[in-house]
Structure 1
């Protein structure tokens, strides 16, 4: 391979990475754009333990909870990076749903 081929391959890989990141962002914004989507995201964040403490007193259970929470925090970070205003809407709707129950 030549340096030109290497540069082209790097450019292609970077473009693919950017396209995937853009699509992921757009997908999340689309899901967060509906009340149903926000309910699903809230449930995922809640079941991942984002809003609770992972510690249980048992190292294995705590480690498991932290792994689950880590994925939830990744989703939370994406929501806050791409549609923080919709997070506030989602939290308000979740509180209203909880009060109705």
Structure 2
């Protein structure tokens, strides 16, 4: 495994796939989950029937953004890890075949 080009290609492909999956699947649920967490935090601080004040809205908005960021992080890092592992396996298989052919050539 002298060159690790397959690892890099797998990493980039996995990151791209994770980004696409995040855009299709993870954006809306991340926002919803972050919003619910923000509502629970703001409800715990200011009381359950929340008023239309600025601070509870800011808490909910910031938690929605954090929910989106965490969902994006999970999808992109997960996709990158899966792509890197696939590249590693492909590289190991190629390197194993090269060793097998080198050993066969030495024994002749």
TM normalised by structure 2 equals 0.33
Larger Rg computed on CA atoms: 2
Higher relative contact order (CA 8 A, sep 6+): 2
